[in-house]
Amino acid sequence: MILLCIGVMGFAVVMAIHGGRDDDASALLKERMAQLMVKLDDEDPQECDRAEREIVDIGKVAIPHLRAAAASTNVDIARRARSILRQLGESTDSTQTEP
């Protein structure tokens, strides 16, 4: 059930980005990315992995949010954000941190 909810939320983000109004999509993406960034530091490693996969599925539109997370003082979030940036083919230079 939880996986279904996560999948539906991920689908909603993608649909809003590709088929919805820009302001709605941006707000929805920002909210979902904030939730996913917190999950990158979850105590449950499977939860962290699920969040990472969802961010990768969201794709390149997540890059500004990942750059901000890569500059986080939370070591685990920063490490995972840099890993996802590399998976998306991006530099891990976190000088651009504005989502």
Identify whether 17 is part of a domain. yes
Identify whether 97 is part of a domain. no
**N-term to C-term CA, the chain:** 30
Identify whether 99 is part of a domain. no
Domain that holds residue 42: 2-87
What does pTM read for this prediction?
Answer: 0.69
In the chain, alpha helices (H): 2-19, 22-39, 45-58, 63-70, 75-87
Residue 18 pLDDT > 70: no
> Residues 53-82: pLDDT tens digits?
999 999 999 999 999 999 999 999 999 999
Q: Residue 24's pLDDT is what?
A: 77
Calpha distance 64→87 (Å, rounded): 14
Identify whether 98 is part of a domain. no
> Residues 20-39: pLDDT tens digits?
566 777 888 899 999 999 99
> Residues 35-55: pLDDT tens digits?
999 999 999 999 999 999 999
Identify whether 28 is part of a domain. yes
Identify whether 93 is part of a domain. no
Identify whether 36 is part of a domain. yes
Q: How many domains does the chain contain in total? A: 1
Identify whether 34 is part of a domain. yes
